[in-house]
């Protein structure tokens, strides 16, 4: 509400709490224009993993699901390999219904684009930040590339060949 009262942009971490669309709507309703911003502006950060196939994306997402499941149980671990995660999840009573408590958009590039657009629409967001958690850095970079291509963003790699900061931090 402070962002609304002060006339500042608002960012919500949907990957932590997927129930933020109502909060974003409340921000818009209570927004007071300021010298910084004339209209409300919302960004939503979403967990997303894309791969060449939906099956591969689901395999990669198993690492995140295991880590979050253990985190919710009070154990913090490094992001495991998909093989370790799949073995762990298979031993759970119902791995598909584990109470992850966070939304993740997972699939091939087309389905991830559609899912991200759905989340943005629900929030009324002008911007979306993608957070990708995978065990393998190359898979994470490939996911970002696929998502960028799905949105027709083109090649965003700097001419020097350096990795963009956004992918380093993710």
- Residue 73: what pLDDT? 83
Report the 10 Å Cβ neighbour count for 154.
8
The overall pTM is greater than 0.85 = no
Residue 125: burial class (beta carbons within 10 Å; 0-12, 13-18, 19+): buried
Residues 39-62: tens digit of each pLDDT: 999 999 999 999 999 999 999 999
- Residue 161: what pLDDT? 47
Q: Which residues of the chain have pLDDT under 50?
A: 97-100, 159-170
- Residue 97: what pLDDT? 46
Please, what are the domains in the chain?
2-169 (3.20.20.30)
Strands (E), the chain: 10-13, 42-50, 104-107, 127-131
Report the 10 Å Cβ neighbour count for 162.
9
- Residue 69: what pLDDT? 85
Residues in the chain: 170
- Exposure string (b/e) for 78-107, b if CB count within 10 Å is 16 or more? ebbebeebbebbeeeeebeeeebebbbbbb
- Residue 162: what pLDDT? 44
- Residue 169: what pLDDT? 39
């Amino acid at each position: 509400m402070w962002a609304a009262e002060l006339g500042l942009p608002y960012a919500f971490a949907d990957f932590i709490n997927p129930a933020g669309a109502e909060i974003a709507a409340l921000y818009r309703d209570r927004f007071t224009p300021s010298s910084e911003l004339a209209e409300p502006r919302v960004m939503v950060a979403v967990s997303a993993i894309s791969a060449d196939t939906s099956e591969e994306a689901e395999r990669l997402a198993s690492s995140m699901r295991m880590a979050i499941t253990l985190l919710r149980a009070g154990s913090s671990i490094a992001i495991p390999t998909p093989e370790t995660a799949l073995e762990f999840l298979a031993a759970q009573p119902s791995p598909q219904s584990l109470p992850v408590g966070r939304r993740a958009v997972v699939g091939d590039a087309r389905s991830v684009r559609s899912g991200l657009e759905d989340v943005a629409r629900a929030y009324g967001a002008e911007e979306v930040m993608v957070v990708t958690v995978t065990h393998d850095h190359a898979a994470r970079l490939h996911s970002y590339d696929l998502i960028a291509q799905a949105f027709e963003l083109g090649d965003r790699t700097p001419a020097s060949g350096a990795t963009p900061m956004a992918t380093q931090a993710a």
